[in-house]
Structure 1
Amino acid sequence: MLKHLKAVNKYFWKYRYRFTAGIFLVIASNYFAVLAPEITGYVVNKLQEMLPGAKAVHHDVREHDKLVNWFITWVNSMSFGALVTVCSVTILLLAVARGLFMFFMRQTIIVMSRHIEFDQKNEVYQHYQKLDAGFYKTHSTGDLMNRMTEDVSRVRMYTGPSMMYLINLLSLISLCVVNMFRKDVNLSLIVLAPLPILAVTIYIVNTVIHKKSEKVQGLLSDLTTNAQESYSGIRVIKSFVQEKAMLGFFKRNSEEYRKNSVSLAKVEAVYFPSMTLLVGLSTLITILVGGQMALNDPQRNIGLIVEFVIYINMLTFPVSAIGSVASMVQRASASQKRLNEFLQTEPTIQNASDAQQVPLQGDIVFKDVSFTYANTGIKALRHFSLEVKEGQKVLILGKTGSGKTTIAQLLLRFYDADEGTITINGVPLQKMLLNHLREQISYVPQDVFLFSDNVGNNISFGLPQTASDDQLFQAAQYASVDNEIKRLENGYQTMVGERGVTLSGGQKQRVSIARALVKNSPVLLFDDCLSAVDAKTENEIVNNLYRFLNQKTAIIITHRIFTSLHFHQIVVLEDGAIVERGTHDELLSSNGYYAELYRLQVSNEQPTA
């Protein structure tokens, strides 16, 4: 169980001074707590001595704590009334002292757990960003979110409350048991007899709780994923009138989660009262056996019996908390196991030990590259070769599923090729620092994504700092979206909503283009980024790009032909392989797929009579 939680030991070491202080405060708090029963037992014995015909009760100084012995020596000569008053005030002061230490105890251990939670969430988030694109194709967003929120919160219950209760439990039981055995070994053994039964019960039930907790956490991830997908795709759900179907799907997942959660709650509901029952049994044994001893021996130390009853009652909360602590540890272990699954996942795309910074201007070479998507088995590229010189403009054309987007993702090293090599200035991509490579490429993806921020910040996203107004305006003008942005309620400060939901598809694409242009990288990569704009706007953008791309290297991936741009190379893909290659004129003269597509496009653009 605890093997999964070893991963958080590094945080205990990081906050070792705070943790050590917390342990000391817990022990000090409990030390003051166990002094009160000894003083109470002493007062009861003094009362017993005052009864008619009673004899003095023998006190062995070895039976008491040194501080209590000193206190007894001080008050022993007082009258009974003064003695009771002083002892009452002392017990009150001990309670106040314990309360102060408990306050500072929580300030150290609980606050430490919040620091650990902060560090762990940052660690998980940072690791998520290191993982490659292939990882995100096989894991749902809802599950990723649930692990970073719900699972980390459950682990915090282990590093905070659970750890605090555990230290409190161990220290209080140790102090009480030591005092009890020092007073009467036989009575202690009888009173504490139910505790082994308690230990066995904890072990058996905890095994069940661990399995159920792990299943509940998995179902919660499924439920979160279901909800997240429904919220993200709400427009599709409404347009197809599938609200009822999605509600039914959510209800089924929710019902499964409810059943397993209730099952876990039932186990815990039996568990916790059982702990209290066993502690209560010890109290009854103490009164029964102790009372019998007192009846058989009138000179028996009655204060000892009272002291034992107080000790047992003091143990009621910590012993009953064993169940709560064990449950929190079990849940935390199940959650940490889920976190470890991701934290121990190494990204397949990493910097090589000898990776270097390579200036990227052009001279990009794909040589006999083949690639298959591992999660689907689809062979996206087959022996693909392409050379792009510095300053060249290359058009990659093909039908949907022909492998065009894969070329962009391989160049950005979201994936590594299965066969062949990709080099820049003669250096393989694997020998280049990832961040330095991607910093030098402005990429407009096919699937446009805008953040829940204002328009200006979305355009400035790829820059180390927010772009100036002039930079924003110029990039937006090149992307033919400046006028539309200015017509928005707050201009460039307008919030675009989640994933840019407040903008049209064409506006989102053009904002994404502006984001790439403001970066002013030497290499630009456009992946079918004009599919949602009309012909007139497309022509404006292409003309603007013609001026912007002067002296820059550009690869434009599309399924249609841009006649107003001069391309040094045009590559036609089909089923991941090159079927045609050449300039515009060369491909027209070859009368193949490109020529057919060009004639079809031109005829569609001709005005009707």
Structure 2
Amino acid sequence: MNSAARNAQAGSQAVKSVIWARIYSRVGSHWKALILAILLMAGAAGTQPTLAVIMKPLLDDGFSGAKPYYVWAIPLAVVGLILLRGACNFFSDYLLAWVANNVLRGMRQEMFDRLLGLPDAEFKRGDTGRLLNRFTIDAGNVTGYATDVITVLVRESLVVVALICVLLYMSWVLTLIILVMLPVSVLIARVFIRRLRKINRDTVNMNAELTRVVGEGIDGQRVIKLFDGYEYERGRFAYVNSRLRRFAMRSAVADAAMTPLTQVCISISVAAIIAVALGQANAGTLTAGSFAAFMASLAQLFDPVKRLTNLAGKMQRMLVSAESVFTLIDQVPELDGGTRVLPAPVRGKIEFRDVGHRFPDATQDTVSGISFSVQPGETVALVGRSGSGKTTLVNMLPRFILPTAGSILVDDIEINELTLASLRSHLSLVSQDVVLFDDTIAVNVGYGSLEQATDEQVMAALEAANLRDFVSQLPKGLQTPVGENAARLSGGQRQRLAIARALIKNAPILILDEATSALDNESERQVQASLERLMKGRTTLVIAHRLSTVQNADRIIVLDAGRVVENGRHEDLLAANGLYATLYRMQFRDTD
């Protein structure tokens, strides 16, 4: 093995050690329950060789009639030992399940907390399937296999040690034969471990792909039906499904092959033991009871050794799943290096100073050299062709995207100096893609830190958003569930519910991102009326493709290829006969 391969192997072992330590540091936090479970497992393990040892007095003295009380003493001892083993196993399994579920709860909470704190860019990668897989499958695998490993290692190792002690007591010569064959079984198991690790990693990745394909099939079911995408989606699913089957079969082959190979080693050792035992019996050094007790102990040795051998596969699956879970936990959260808060009262002045941004791996800037200011209470619209940088620009204000050049100020303070909580608490957003949660209308309107809002406050916000009459007619009123993705509401109702949410927050700075672009004319008029109430007295940045919705803005900033090309009021920009006038005439002609 060359030095590079040795270094790679050493690095892999170091990573495994770290993962092991991280898993069992969480398990070890419940050490009291763990120690009690281990003691109970030791009690259960101690009963197994005792049952084998009983065979010697039973055959040597019981059947000969030398000790008549064995007639009732040995059966009672057997029943007592079985009851003791059952009780110990039950309570140890219960305690380990309690530990596993508490660790799982904590791990999932840690994952979700980190998920909520990830930068906006992480969610743009479209890795939803893998993220969900980490919560539903990987986390459960880690804790489930971790407690399985503890159970098997402790219980079965104690059983093996106790049985080997009994075997040595009965006949050290016969026991040596077994001890020679055990390392051979271990070497056979090691051959399959590396293969199992790769197979399990591939399975985890393909499970994430399966989640993604099924999720897209659910979300896109109407498109699939309308555009006859059945065969294409069946093909995608069949490919993933077939790959999962192949990985499962490879894993099953590796797992299944270890057992018969181990059994071959055991059968060779048993054959040698019988041959030697017959020789000792003929020489008078081994009684029938001793040999029966020896063979009973040996027979009980096979199952724990088999479980210890099969543990390699579980350990590899646990490590792969843990690697996936800790990848999420170790993600770097969004930067929050600010230390200042906006001083009250917040005026809502916004200033962009020579702001630029380039996405990673992009060859040119999305926006460059952007400078403008918005006075408190002023409404400024950002317009331009698709891809001109409007959304990128406003996403920098709440620090969803960080500028790569220049600076942004709110009330003459750079937003990087502000804590995220302070900055975002004074911003409200209403966008084209309304996000509502599968909960009641009241919860959605008073969402987050505002969820303690009274019903009167919620109804006042709904009235300002032209939704009071609609909600009042519902059988459950404010307690009406909106359904998943607000499927029970129309597009206009969803938009106005988002406006009510922004109204009740009462933030001094408002961002409207294509808030009416997906609505019909009637819904747009209703939403526009609600928006006018929302915008009153607030500093507002408006992104709009429909130029008719921004004619009354205090100023209109026209972007093209990431730069400001025009800036002024609607009438002035039309008179200048530039890009804005061109875009306006095109839309006016289209509406005709």
Q: TM-score, normalised by structure 2?
A: 0.90
1:181-203 CA distance string (max 9 Å, x none): 34432221113322111100111
Report which of the two structures shows the higher radius of gyration computed on alpha carbons: 1
Aligned to 1:320: 306
Q: Work out the CA distance in 2 between the residues paired with 1:465 and 1:437.
A: 20
Aligned to 1:495: 481
Aligned to 2:342: 358
Q: Cα gap change, 1:440/1:272 in structure 2, threshold over 3 Å: closer, same or farther?
A: farther
- Contact 1:110/1:161, CA 8 A, preserved across alignment: no
Aligned to 1:220: 207
- Contact 1:546/1:565, CA 8 A, preserved across alignment: no
C-alpha displacement of 1:212: 0.9
**Structure 1 counterpart of 2:313, which letter?**
S
Residue 87 in structure 1 maps to residue 71 in structure 2: no
Q: Work out the CA distance in 2 between the residues paired with 1:111 and 1:378.
A: 55
Residue 153 in structure 1 maps to residue 140 in structure 2: yes
Aligned to 1:187: 174
Aligned to 1:32: 47
Out of 245, 251, 254, the residue aligned to residue 258 of structure 1 is: 245
1:225-253 CA distance string (max 9 Å, x none): 11111111111111212122211221122
Q: Work out the CA distance in 2 between the residues paired with 1:603 and 1:36.
A: 94
Out of 552, 561, 578, the residue aligned to residue 538 of structure 2 is: 552
**Structure 2 counterpart of 1:326, which letter?**
A
- Show structure 2 runs of 5+ residues with no match: 1-12
Out of 437, 441, 444, the residue aligned to residue 458 of structure 1 is: 444
Q: Cα gap change, 1:331/1:374 in structure 2, threshold over 3 Å: closer, same or farther?
A: same
Q: Work out the CA distance in 1 between the residues paired with 2:550 and 2:122.
A: 39
- Contact 1:287/1:309, CA 8 A, preserved across alignment: no
Residue 385 in structure 1 maps to residue 371 in structure 2: yes
- Show structure 1 runs of 5+ residues with no match: 52-78
Q: Work out the CA distance in 2 between the residues paired with 1:418 and 1:264.
A: 47
- Contact 1:142/1:224, CA 8 A, preserved across alignment: yes
SS in 2 for 1:192: helix
Aligned to 1:43: 58
1:453-507 CA distance string (max 9 Å, x none): 2333222224432543333333233333444445556544443332223333333
Q: Work out the CA distance in 2 between the residues paired with 1:564 and 1:267.
A: 66
C-alpha displacement of 1:158: 1.8
- Contact 1:478/1:545, CA 8 A, preserved across alignment: no
Q: Work out the CA distance in 1 between the residues paired with 2:98 and 2:313.
A: 21
**Structure 2 counterpart of 1:394, which letter?**
V
- Contact 1:543/1:564, CA 8 A, preserved across alignment: no
Aligned to 1:17: 32
Q: Work out the CA distance in 1 between the residues paired with 2:304 and 2:287.
A: 27
Q: Work out the CA distance in 1 between the residues paired with 2:547 and 2:332.
A: 41
Q: Work out the CA distance in 1 between the residues paired with 2:463 and 2:547.
A: 23
Out of 472, 476, 491, the residue aligned to residue 462 of structure 2 is: 476
C-alpha displacement of 1:376: 5.5
- Contact 2:496/2:530, CA 8 A, preserved across alignment: no
Aligned to 1:119: 106
**Structure 1 counterpart of 2:249, which letter?**
V
- Contact 1:365/1:385, CA 8 A, preserved across alignment: yes
Q: Work out the CA distance in 2 between the residues paired with 1:563 and 1:24.
A: 74
Q: Cα gap change, 1:510/1:373 in structure 2, threshold over 3 Å: closer, same or farther?
A: farther
SS in 2 for 1:345: coil
Q: Work out the CA distance in 2 between the residues paired with 1:248 and 1:238.
A: 15
Between stretches 451-460 and 158-167, larger displacement belongs to 451-460
1:167-224 CA distance string (max 9 Å, x none): 1121111222233334432221113322111100111111111111111111111111
Aligned to 1:447: 433
Q: Cα gap change, 1:380/1:273 in structure 2, threshold over 3 Å: closer, same or farther?
A: same
Between stretches 457-466 and 334-343, larger displacement belongs to 457-466
Q: Percent identity?
A: 26
Aligned to 2:324: 338
Aligned to 1:96: 83
Q: Work out the CA distance in 2 between the residues paired with 1:174 and 1:365.
A: 74
- Contact 1:138/1:375, CA 8 A, preserved across alignment: no
C-alpha displacement of 1:444: 1.5
**Structure 2 counterpart of 1:206, which letter?**
I
SS in 1 for 2:356: strand
Aligned to 1:245: 232
Q: Work out the CA distance in 2 between the residues paired with 1:310 and 1:141.
A: 54
1:104-143 maps to which residues of 2 (within 5 A)? 104-143=91-130
- Contact 2:370/2:563, CA 8 A, preserved across alignment: yes
Q: Work out the CA distance in 1 between the residues paired with 2:232 and 2:279.
A: 70
Aligned to 1:289: 276
Q: Work out the CA distance in 2 between the residues paired with 1:95 and 1:509.
A: 67
Q: Cα gap change, 1:246/1:466 in structure 2, threshold over 3 Å: closer, same or farther?
A: farther
**Structure 1 counterpart of 2:132, which letter?**
M
1:505-544 maps to which residues of 2 (within 5 A)? 505-544=491-530
Q: Work out the CA distance in 1 between the residues paired with 2:526 and 2:487.
A: 24
SS in 2 for 1:193: helix
Between stretches 33-42 and 211-220, larger displacement belongs to 33-42
1:311-330 CA distance string (max 9 Å, x none): 11222221111243221111
C-alpha displacement of 1:512: 2.1
Q: Work out the CA distance in 2 between the residues paired with 1:605 and 1:483.
A: 32
C-alpha displacement of 1:298: 2.5
Q: Work out the CA distance in 1 between the residues paired with 2:407 and 2:259.
A: 63
Between stretches 127-136 and 303-312, larger displacement belongs to 303-312
Aligned to 1:8: 23
C-alpha displacement of 1:447: 2.2
Residue 580 in structure 1 maps to residue 566 in structure 2: yes
Out of 386, 410, 413, the residue aligned to residue 427 of structure 1 is: 413
Q: Cα gap change, 1:227/1:376 in structure 2, threshold over 3 Å: closer, same or farther?
A: farther
Count of matched residue pairs: 575
**Structure 2 counterpart of 1:510, which letter?**
R
- Contact 1:28/1:98, CA 8 A, preserved across alignment: yes
Q: Work out the CA distance in 1 between the residues paired with 2:410 and 2:227.
A: 47
Residue 329 in structure 1 maps to residue 294 in structure 2: no
Q: Work out the CA distance in 2 between the residues paired with 1:503 and 1:293.
A: 87
Q: Work out the CA distance in 2 between the residues paired with 1:409 and 1:481.
A: 28
C-alpha displacement of 1:274: 3.2
Q: Cα gap change, 1:517/1:366 in structure 2, threshold over 3 Å: closer, same or farther?
A: same
